[in-house]
Amino acid sequence: MAIKRVGFVGTGIMGAPMARNLIRAGFSVTVWNRTASKAAPLVEEGAVSAASPAAVAAASEVTFSCVSDSPDVEAVALGPGGILEGAEPGSVYIDCSTISPEVARRVAQAASSRGVAMLDAPVSGGDVGARNGTLAVMVGGDPAVFERCRTVLEAIGETIVYVGPSGSGQVVKLCNQVAGALNLMAMAEAITLSRRAGVDPAKMIEVVSKGAAGSWMLANLGPRAVAGDFAPGFMVDLMQKDLRLVLETAAQTDTPLPGAALVNQVLRMLQAQNRGGDGTQAIVDAVARLAGS
């Protein structure tokens, strides 16, 4: 039977456009956000506002969440008035946050004990991908549940890949953040070198981004950094949270990640300047400061 009723908990920079794409795909969508005003535009577009995550889940066959960190997922899923309090047996909970793989497995076990299936399905593509419905979605959990929810996931993403059992989606997302962090650092170093060597960094980006050294970060965030536009598509503080999870997982698995550790330290310079709310492209300023610029 086709899924018709979908819930969404957490309608921030990523969650709001994801919920909007579910509405546009024809699903009946119920929403909740800790700051209710952030969900108001979705209600104007046809979503139904609920009083709690539990109420969202009670109205939904599939309930999504997209919040900031592991404790936030535990709160909205397991806490009083949480998703699992309202979810009907046989329903599905899909978490799109970036959290600890261990926490994802623990929440999945708690869901299973209530007859609710869970998929950990973190996403990549930033606010642009969320708005355009072109996110990459890496999914861990039961493969049969994944297939059942594929049409719902296709409303928010373009590349949707089942990667393994519970927690696997989060492991792949952390790998994504390692690659993304190092691409950010490469972008920052290239822009800084270009400027200090007397070449227009915009011209450098124009050609380098089309060659073998091109990356999403360079093509999309590079021009914003050069223009001094540090509005967040993805905040420094959130990347640091992800790198903390990366380095914790690296420690648990005895995996050396010198590049990720370096980016973590460079971004800490921005946090020390109270710039944790800036977009991650602000790393260009941190590297420029190292160069005395």
Residues marked as catalytic: 173
- Are 205 and 199 in contact by the 8 Å Cβ rule? The answer is no
Cα angle for residues 80, 85, 91 (degrees, 5° grid): 150
How many whole angstroms separate alpha carbon 68 and alpha carbon 9? 12
How many whole angstroms separate alpha carbon 205 and alpha carbon 219? 7
How many whole angstroms separate alpha carbon 289 and alpha carbon 52? 45
- Are 265 and 290 in contact by the 8 Å Cβ rule? The answer is no
Q: Which residue matches tokens 């998929």?
A: 119
Candidates 246, 249, 252, 250; CA nearest to 267 is 246
Q: Three-class SS of residue 63?
A: strand
How many whole angstroms separate alpha carbon 34 and alpha carbon 11? 9
